[in-house]
Amino acid sequence: MTLQQLAYFLAVARTRHFTKAAEEVRVAQPSLSKQIHALEKELGAELFSRARGNITLTPAGEALLPVANRILSDVDTARLEVAELVGLRRGRVRVGATPSLCGSLFADVIKRYHDAYPGIRVSVTESGSRDLVAALEAGDLDLALVIVSPADANRALTVQPVLREELVVASAEPLGVPRLRLPDLADHPLVMFRPGYDLRETTLAACRRAGFEPQFAVEGGEMDAVLRFVEVGLGVAIVPSTVLATRSLHGTPLAPGTSRTVGLAHRTDVAPTTAARAFQSVLLSFLRGARMPAGVHLTTS
Given this model, what pLDDT does residue 45 score? 93
Whole-prediction pTM value?
0.65
Given this model, what pLDDT does residue 83 score? 64
Same domain, 270 and 145: yes
Same domain, 196 and 274: no
Does the structure show a pLDDT above 80 at 244?
A: yes
The arithmetic mean of pLDDT across residues 209-226, rounded, is 90
What confidence tens digit (pLDDT) does each residue in 147-179 have? 887 655 667 899 999 988 889 999 999 999 999
pLDDT: which is higher, 285 or 81: 285
Domain contains 79 = no
Given this model, what pLDDT does residue 152 score? 57
Sign of CA dihedral 7, 8, 10, 14: positive
Q: Rounded CA gap, 227 and 214, in Å?
A: 18
Q: Rounded CA gap, 205 and 207, in Å?
A: 6
Domain contains 268 = yes
Given this model, what pLDDT does residue 74 score? 86
pLDDT: which is higher, 45 or 119: 45
Domain contains 300 = no
Same domain, 169 and 286: no
Alpha-carbon 66 to chain mean position: 25
pLDDT: which is higher, 274 or 226: 226
Specify the number of domains making up the chain: 3
Same domain, 178 and 145: no
The arithmetic mean of pLDDT across residues 129-133, rounded, is 90
Given this model, what pLDDT does residue 5 score? 94
Are 203 and 238 in contact by the 8 Å Cβ rule? The answer is: yes
Mean pLDDT of the chain: 88
**pLDDT confidence band for 86 (50 / 70 / 90):** low
Tell me the C-alpha to C-alpha distance, in Å, between residue 13 and each of 49, 54, 67, 140, 250: 11, 12, 13, 18, 47
Same domain, 151 and 283: yes
In 10 A of CB 243, how many CB atoms?
Answer: 26
The boundaries of the domain holding residue 290 are 86-160+262-294
What confidence tens digit (pLDDT) does each residue in 203-216 have? 898 889 889 999 99
pLDDT: which is higher, 246 or 17: 17
Given this model, what pLDDT does residue 199 score? 86
In 10 A of CB 144, how many CB atoms?
Answer: 25
Same domain, 156 and 169: no
Domain contains 14 = yes
Could you tell me the CATH number of the domain that includes residue 93? Answer: 3.40.190.10
